Amino acid sequence: MSTKFKNLKNDLKDLEQEGHLGSSSQLSSSSGKSGSSLANYVLLFAFLATLIFYTGSKINFSEIQVNPIENFVQELNQPDEDLLNRMGAWMTEMGYGELTHEELIALREEGVTATYTSQIREVGYTDVTLDELVALQNADVSATFARMMKELGYELSIQDLIDLRENDVTAYFTSNMMDLGYTIEDLTKENLMRMRSIGVTHQLAEELLNENGVRATVDELIRHRISNQ
C-alpha cells in the first residue's frame, strides 16, 4: 500500500476519533465550523479517490470479458452437433470421405453446405473438390447460375464459372443479349467478361439496335461504352 494512501487513512481515523466528521446537525450548528467541515469533506473526497485509484490498479481489466454479447452471438451461430453429423454423413455419401467436425465447420464458414454441394453436382460437376466448392462460393457462383448457363448452351468448367462471376457476368445478362440476337459465338466467355468489366448492359445493346436499326457487334458495344464513360 502506498505511503500516501496510509497517511490519508490515518488522517481519516484521527478525524473520526476527534468527532470532526459528526452528524450533519453538528456540522451546521455554527457558522464558525463551516470552514473546518469543508476541509474535512475535501479530505474525505481525497481519501475515497485514492482508495478507488489504488483498488483499480490491482484489477487486471484485460481478463474481463469486454463484449459478452458478441461471444454469445458467435456461439449461437455455431451449428449444432446433429446438423454437423448429418452434413458429414451426406458429404461422405457424395464421396468426400470422413470429414472432421473442424473441417465441416470450416466449410460452413465459407458458405459450403451439403445442400450446395449436392446442387452443384446435380448440374453436372460431379468431380468438384472441396477447394473448388470454397472457390465457387467465394466467387458467388450459385447452383442456379451454373444451371442456367448450361441451359443457355454453355459448357463451362469450374474455373470458367468463377471467372465469369468475378467479372459480374450473370445468366440474366447473357440471356437478354441472346434475346437481342447475339449467339454463343458472339457471347464467348472472354467477350462476356470484357463487356461486363466495363459496364456494358443489355439495355445499351437494345438502345443502339433501336437507334441504328442493326445490331452492334461486341467490339462496337465496348467501344461505345468506353467513349461515353
Q: H-type helices in the chain, by residue range?
A: 3-18, 24-27, 34-57, 68-77, 81-93, 101-109, 114-123, 130-138, 143-151, 158-166, 171-179, 189-197, 202-212, 218-227
Same domain, 199 and 175: yes
Let me know if residue 212 belongs to a domain: yes
Q: Please give the span between the terminal C-alpha atoms of the chain, in angstroms, as a whole number.
A: 72
User: What pLDDT is stored for residue 99 in this prediction?
Assistant: 96
**pLDDT, tens digit (0-9, with 9 covering 90-100), for 18-57:** 544 444 444 444 445 555 666 666 667 777 766 666 555 5
Same domain, 96 and 39: no
User: What pLDDT is stored for residue 48 in this prediction?
Assistant: 72
User: What pLDDT is stored for residue 22 in this prediction?
Assistant: 47
* Domain end marker among 121, 140, 159: 140
User: What pLDDT is stored for residue 76 in this prediction?
Assistant: 46
Let me know if residue 206 belongs to a domain: yes
Which residues of the chain have a pLDDT value below 70? 1-43, 49-79
Same domain, 181 and 219: yes
Same domain, 87 and 35: no
Let me know if residue 148 belongs to a domain: no
Give the type of residue at 135: A
Same domain, 173 and 225: yes
Same domain, 171 and 227: yes
Q: Which domain holds residue 20?
A: 3-63
User: What pLDDT is stored for residue 224 in this prediction?
Assistant: 96
Q: Which residues contact 170 (CB under 8 A, 6 or more apart)?
A: 145
User: What pLDDT is stored for residue 138 in this prediction?
Assistant: 97
Instruction: Give the cell for residue 8.
Output: 490519508
Q: Which residues contact 200 (CB under 8 A, 6 or more apart)?
A: 221, 222, 225
Let me know if residue 131 belongs to a domain: yes
User: What pLDDT is stored for residue 107 in this prediction?
Assistant: 96
Let me know if residue 156 belongs to a domain: no
Let me know if residue 70 belongs to a domain: no
Could you give the number of structural domains in the chain? 3
User: What pLDDT is stored for residue 45 in this prediction?
Assistant: 72
What pTM did the predictor assign?
A: 0.66
Let me know if residue 71 belongs to a domain: no
